[in-house]
Amino acid sequence: MKSYYDRTWKIGELARVFDVNVQLLRHYDKEGLLVPDIRNPENKWRTYRYDQIYSLGMIRFLRDLDCSLDEIGEFMHGRNPDKTEEFLKERFENARKKYEKMLRMESVCKDRFALIKSELAYADADQIFVYSEGDIHYIEAGGLETVFADELFYMYPTLVLYSGGEAKFAVKIPPEDAGEYQDKVRVIPPADYLVGFHHGSYESIYDTFEKMRQAAGGLLDEHDTIGDEALTVNIIDQLVEENRDSFVTKVMMKIYH
């Protein structure tokens, strides 16, 4: 009578036990991570001995810890208690940092959608008004050639500073998050702004600038003026909307008293 220790597993059986694709086990074989103990010389069928199940379970465990196949391969061979403890401590610390980062990103994204909802309440295309804005915290993100590579661009609203026909990109940071980025953060001091909303692609935003300038005369006091510069904050942009015609951008022009 065969004992438990004589038990072997064909590749299909092992795949079903762990609910994985057979191709994945073949890949592990190719990478030397889980080489079947028995291979039929005629049909090349793979058969695994009983204790190789543990190895597959460990590989899956380490993959859940975001270990690469190279890291797993290096760890699996020649491990001992000290090496295992040190390796797992490091991996759990990395996992904890990623988890904390994900929680923070979730919080930031919730704030961003709250901003979208609050701004859309006033985002009529024809509505132009005067508004007193407090400190605006931002981090410069460079030009179009670099802005998309900055992960902050996907977390916080995009702030664009238009001046002299040029556009400089930044991310608008909530005051409560500004301390985290310390000397990276710049501040635009409180000011009164002429505010409007641009609907559509960014290429046509200068049309909204001109419309707002034309409307300024009926909204500003006699001696007030607006400068050539403008600030824009993306409300509905490519992060949340595919159709460029549906983009909504808040436009702010500083009022000089």
Rounded CA separation 196/95 (Å)? 44
What are the DSSP E strand ranges found in 40-135?
A: 46-49, 129-133
CATH superfamily of the domain spanning 120-256: Regulatory factor, effector binding domain (3.20.80.10)
Any idea what DSSP says for residue 8?
A: E
pLDDT tens sequence across 159-176:
999 998 888 999 999 988
Phi-psi region of 38 (alpha: psi -120 to 50; beta: other; left: phi over 0): beta
> Which distant-in-sequence residues (6+ apart) come within 8 Å of 6 by Cβ?
50
Specify the pLDDT at position 182.
82
Specify the pLDDT at position 5.
66
Average pLDDT for 28-50? 83
Q: Hey, where are the domains in the chain? A: 4-79, 120-256
pLDDT tens sequence across 211-244:
999 999 889 998 999 988 999 999 999 989 999 9
Average pLDDT for 198-218? 93
Query: Exposed, middle or buried: residue 137 (CB in 10 Å: 0-12, 13-18, 19+)?
Result: buried
Contacts 24+ apart (CB under 8 A), 205-210: 205/232, 205/249, 205/251, 208/249, 208/251, 209/162, 209/251, 209/253
Q: Tell me if residue 76 falls in helix, strand or coil.
A: helix
The tokens for 177 are 């998050």
User: What single letter denotes the amino acid at residue 55?
Assistant: S
- Report if pTM > 0.95: no
User: What single letter denotes the amino acid at residue 5?
Assistant: Y
Any idea what DSSP says for residue 195?
A: E
Rounded CA separation 178/162 (Å)? 23
pLDDT tens sequence across 122-148:
898 889 999 999 999 999 987 766 777
Specify the pLDDT at position 37.
82
Reported CATH class of domain 4-79: mainly alpha
Decide if 183 contacts 135 (C-beta within 8 A).
Answer: no
Specify the pLDDT at position 22.
93
